[in-house]
Amino acid sequence: MNDMQETPPAPDGIGPDEGPSPDSTLPSEGISPELLHDPYGEEILDVSRGDFEAMLSEHQTARGPVKEGEIVKARVLRTTDSSVILEFGFKSEGAVPREEFKETDSIDPGQEVEVLLESLEDEDGVVVLSKKKADFLRVWELIKEAYEKDEPVKGLLTRKIKGGVTVDIMGVDAFLPGSQIALRRVPNIEELIGERYDFKIIKLNKRRRNIVVSRRVILEREREKKRSTLVKELLKGQVREGVVKNITDFGAFIDLGGLDGLLHITDMSWGRVGHPSEVVDVGGNLDVKVLDIDWDRERISLGLKQLLPYPWTDIEERYPVGARVHGRVVSITNYGAFVELQKGVEGLVHISEMSWTRNVRHPSKLVSIGDEIEAVVLKVDPREEKISLGMKQIQEDPWLALPLKYPTGQRLTGTVRNLTSFGAFVEIESGIDGLVHVSDMSWTKRVEHPSEVVHKGEQLDVMVLHVDSDNKRISLGLKQLYDDPWPELVLRFARGHEQEGVVVRLQDKGVVVDLGEGVEGFVPGSHSAVSPDALEQHFRVGESVPLRVINSDADDRRIVLEVTEAPQRGEPRAPEETGSYDEAAAQVEAGAQEDAGAQEDAAPHGEAAPQEEASLSED
């Protein structure tokens, strides 16, 4: 009973008494004895125990720990036009699109990369790998930490896309909206590609692998810090460096480093500025002077010209009266032309100072913007910053010689240039016109309008009556070419003389009649043999009426008449209403004075004697 039962020997001669040999130690996971010896078969493994364990360990490393959704290391086998072929694990292959690699030109066979194993086998039996997702997962924790701690991250602007720019953050793509690139709109985003900046992560979505960043937030924080410092330091009168932020029609906004100031167009230059873009450019740096600060309205006024010398200092010494100067026409108005003498100094050539002889209706008839002209300084007013210039003073005044050239009584031939209600302007030489007043057109007829005697463009013989060189006037006469007929007419039309006359025109106070040979007489309404209020009902132009001379005056050049027989269109007036010759003569004298006053009123304003007026030729 105490004898132990004998145990049969093991097949390979390894009995239980011998125990396991030192070489039989298995890994912790253990190797099944059946793998070393098949109790049901007769074949003996042709590999050693050590080699078999090494092969098994390699297979477990390649296949055992690998799971879907993990990041694995892979080796580049080859590349195609669209994919990169990778090998991972135990002779397993997968493809990754080339666009998932940042630098496709630097992909070499044998290069080791990390990829995400999305699936060991898809519906086509292909391993699915992704390098882009692997890169994202590697840096996700770092990006998430920066987002939670509100820390900036470095990024590289890689390419422009719709609505913004793609930014490389730690190897993964993030989206930078166009509105978040800078504090103001960037005109050309392409110029920023390849630049590195600090960004703030403003949105994260791991499931969609969406990262949104902003550079503007970083800049606003920096600007706010500068603003706080600038508010304490900024003072009126300081000179500060700034950047042109924006340009408008009325000026430019300058960023002083946290605060914006307005550089108005009038403070850009002492000279004339058509548009602010002529002086400054967006993004340009410049020094400006602080002119005014209004913290309540948060407005800062800046100046650029204030950094330059004031051009009107000692202006009277540089441009004395009488000096000849040269300048460029920079502006033209209805009343003259502005000439730039130097930057910030302009003078006005008034339209009346452009020509001695021409009647310039508009300065553009003589000068154009950009013309270089010569002028004479007429007046300097430093307080008002005004300089009066004259162009005509460059030449000698031709009017000074006219009194000698055209003495009184000289006969001339000229061209009728213009007709007015009070006379005709006749050009006697180029640029020199004289006036023939209506009162100097006929000895015997009362001329209502010069068109009754002369016509525009007509060649006309005239006589010089007077030359006023100071007021630039020449008085001409037409009737003076003939002898005065009135001494003879007074005798011919003596008081009581009776004859027929033809009605020429009807006036409010009487009737004008033609007595023949160009001689006119006047019938007062009170001597018309009808009611003065009914002249139009009884008299017709062109009809003959019997007349008697009441008064004939050579000095006033008037013949006053009465109607001896009233027209038969109405009842004649009673003889007692007619009045005496003397009463009629007194009424005519009063009427003559009124007509003379009317002529004075017809003359241009401010001219006491229109018959002595001369006009400059009109352009």
- Give the confidence band of 3 by pLDDT, cuts at 50, 70, 90: very low
pLDDT at 349 > cutoff 90: yes
| CB-based contact 411:461 (threshold 8 Å) | yes
The string of pLDDT tens digits covering residues 506-545 is: 888 899 988 888 788 899 988 888 888 888 888 888 888 8
Distance separating alpha carbons of residues 413 and 462, to the nearest angstrom = 6
Do residues 87 and 79 lie in contact, with contact meaning Cβ atoms separated by under 8 Å? Answer: no
Which superfamily is assigned to 315-394 in CATH?
Nucleic acid-binding proteins (2.40.50.140)
The predicted pLDDT at position 28 comes to 41
Higher pLDDT, 546 or 229: 546
Out of 49-63, 358-372, 394-408, 417-431, which region has the weakest mean confidence (pLDDT)? 49-63
Architecture of domain 71-133 in this structure: Beta Barrel (2.40)
Residue of 394, 387, 391, 318 whose CA lies nearest to 348: 387
Residue 65: per-residue pLDDT: 55
**pLDDT mean over 413-422:** 90
Q: In this prediction, what percent of the chain has a pLDDT beyond 90? A: 19
Whether residue 312 is predicted with pLDDT greater than 50 in this model: the reply is: yes
pLDDT at 209 over 90: no
Greater model confidence, 71 or 1: 71
Burial of 107 (0-12, 13-18, 19+ CB in 10 A): middle
Write the CATH number of the domain with boundaries 490-579: 2.40.50.140
Q: What is the dihedral of CA 307, 331, 616, 390, to 10 degrees?
A: 20
What digits encode the pLDDT tens for the residues 125-136?
677 787 777 777
pTM value is 0.42
Q: How many whole angstroms separate alpha carbon 100 and alpha carbon 287?
A: 49
Top-level CATH class of 234-307?
mainly beta
**What residues does CATH 2.40.50.140 cover in the chain?**
71-133, 234-307, 315-394, 398-481, 490-579
pLDDT tens column, 539-575: 888 888 899 988 888 888 888 998 888 887 644 444 4
DSSP labels, 224-290: HHHHHHHHHH--TT-EEEEEEEEE-SSEEEEE-SSSEEEEEGGGT-SS--S-GGGT--TT-EEEEEE
Q: What is the pLDDT of residues 442-492, one digit of tens each?
A: 887 888 899 988 999 889 899 999 988 888 889 999 988 888 888 888 888
Please give the class, per CATH, of domain 398-481.
Answer: mainly beta
Please tell me the distance from the alpha carbon of residue 332 to that of residue 329, in angstroms, as a whole number. 8
- Residue 112 near residue 77 (C-beta atoms within 8 A): no
Is the predicted pLDDT of residue 291 greater than 80, yes or no?
Answer: yes
pLDDT at position 146: 86
Picking from 24-38, 119-133, 157-171, 236-250, which range would have the lowest pLDDT averaged per residue?
24-38
Reply yes or no on whether the pLDDT at 585 is more than 70: no
Spatial distance between the Cα atoms of 165 and 139, rounded to a whole number of angstroms: 20
368: confidence class by pLDDT, cuts 50, 70, 90: very high
